Amino acid sequence: MFVGHHKERLLESIRALRELPVTKIILFVGEEELPGEKRTRKTAEELKKELEVVWDVEIAKVDKRNAIRATMQLIEIIGAEKAKGREVIINASGSLRSLAIAGYIAACVTSSRIFTSIPRYNEKEEEIGIEEMIEIPTLPVDFPAKEQIEILTAIDGGVDALDELIIRLNPDLDRKSEDFFKERSRLSHHIAKLERIGAVRKVKVGRNVRIELTPLGVFLVKGAGGAGLELEVSV
C-alpha cells in the first residue's frame, strides 16, 4: 500500500478489501525528504500502530521521483514475498501518479493484482470516503524463453563484448574450440531477438560493442524471479 496524507481513506480501502485473505501489509513511503514526506511518514507510523493489532505490518521506502527505479524496487519486494509462497496485492488508493505508474508496471511484470479507490464526495464536492474499490486489469507480460532470461541475467550490469558474455555463461569453454564459435552464433541470434523487443541495447565503445540491459531487460529479469520461474535470478 502506498501511503499519502489521508489515513482514513487508506483504512477504508483496507476494509473494502476485507474479503481478501490478507496476512501482511507493507506500507510504502518515500525514501527522500520531499515536501510533505514528513507528514506521510507520520501517517505511515500511525497506520502501522493501528494495523499491527491484526496483521504483520512493515514500512518500506521507494523512490517517488523516479518511476523506473520505483518499479524495480517494487518488483524486488514482490519477488521476495512470492518466494515465500505469498500472493501479492497492490493497493494504489493513496499513491502519487508516479507510484501508481510504478505499481501498475510492477503488477504487470509480476502477475500481481492491483486495486485503487473511487472517492465519494458530498454535496459540496468534498471527499468524504470511498465509493468503491476497483481492480485494474493488468496486461499479460510475455516473458522471453528460459535461455533468453538466462542470457539477460548473465549480462547483468553489462558486458564489453560478446565473448565476455560467452565466458560468463560457459566459464570452462575453450576460446579456440568449435563449441565456442557455435556458442557465439547462438548468443548472437538471441541478442538480436532481445534487442528487437527492447530488452538489451548495444553501445559502441572504441572497437568493441558493449551490450547492456535496458530498463525493460531489468524488469524481465526481476519479474522472472518474482513469477517463480526456475532460474537463479537475484530479486
Give the mean pLDDT of the chain: 88
Q: What is the pLDDT averaged over residues 188-203?
A: 93
**Residues 6 or more apart whose Cβ sits within 8 Å of residue 25:** 1, 14, 51, 55, 56, 57, 58
- For 93-142, what is each residue's pLDDT tens digit? 877 788 899 999 999 988 899 999 988 888 888 878 888 899 999 987 77
Which stretch of DSSP H or E encloses residue 214? none
CA dist 41 and 57 (Å) reads: 14
* Distance of alpha carbon 170 from alpha carbon 163, whole angstroms: 10
Per-residue pLDDT at 24 exceeds 60? yes
What is the model's pLDDT at position 7?
87
Q: Which residues share a beta bridge with 211?
A: 159, 202
d(CA 159, CA 165): 6
| % pLDDT > 90, the chain | 57
| Cβ atoms 191, 161 nearer than 8 A | no
Rounded average pLDDT over 147-172: 94
Give the chain's domains with CATH numbers. Answer: 7-135 (3.40.50.10770), 146-226 (1.10.10.10)
- pLDDT computed for residue 226 by the predictor: 52
- Region 166-181 average pLDDT: 93
How many whole angstroms separate alpha carbon 192 and alpha carbon 199?
10
Q: What is the pTM of this model?
A: 0.75
Predicted pLDDT of residue 91: 94
What average pLDDT does the segment 49-60 reach? 94
Number of H helices, E strands in the chain: 8, 7
What would the mean pLDDT of 194-199 be, rounded to a whole number?
Answer: 91
C-alpha cell at 49: 500502530
Which residue, chain included where needed, has cell 533468453? 148
